[in-house]
Amino acid sequence: MTRRAPGRRLTRRADISEDARETIALLQRHDQTVNVVLVALTDGVELEVYGDGALRRRLRFLRDTEARKHAARLAARLAGRGYARQNESR
């Protein structure tokens, strides 16, 4: 039997359906490409960070504005480490 901390609920990723997906930032350095994707869900927003195509981190937010602020901070931090934004055609 698995125990979990009181007050924490488990959510199954398979039960969640996404409504939309948008690439927020695409940053590249000579050795790696980082893709930051905003995923809209029914009950919130997720920010997925991919490094060379592999999912590195998934962050969950209640509001779109908070997720976008976090993505902007992350892109600024990566730019300080030598990553450059790629031109995106929309």
- The encoded tokens of residue 72 equal 């902007």
Question: What pLDDT shows up at residue 1?
Answer: 46
pLDDT value, residue 89: 46
Check pLDDT > 80 for residue 8: no
pLDDT digits (tens, 9 = 90+) for 57-86: 999 999 999 999 999 999 999 999 999 988
Minimal CA–CA distance to 24: which of 63, 73, 82, 80?
73
Please tell me the pTM assigned to this model. 0.74
**34, 53 in Cβ contact below 8 A?**
no
Q: Given the DSSP bridges, would you call strands 45-51 and 84-85 parallel, antiparallel or unpaired?
A: unpaired
CB 6 within 8 A of CB 68: no
Tell me the pLDDT tens digit for each residue of 16-69. 677 899 999 999 999 999 999 999 998 899 999 999 999 999 999 999 999 999
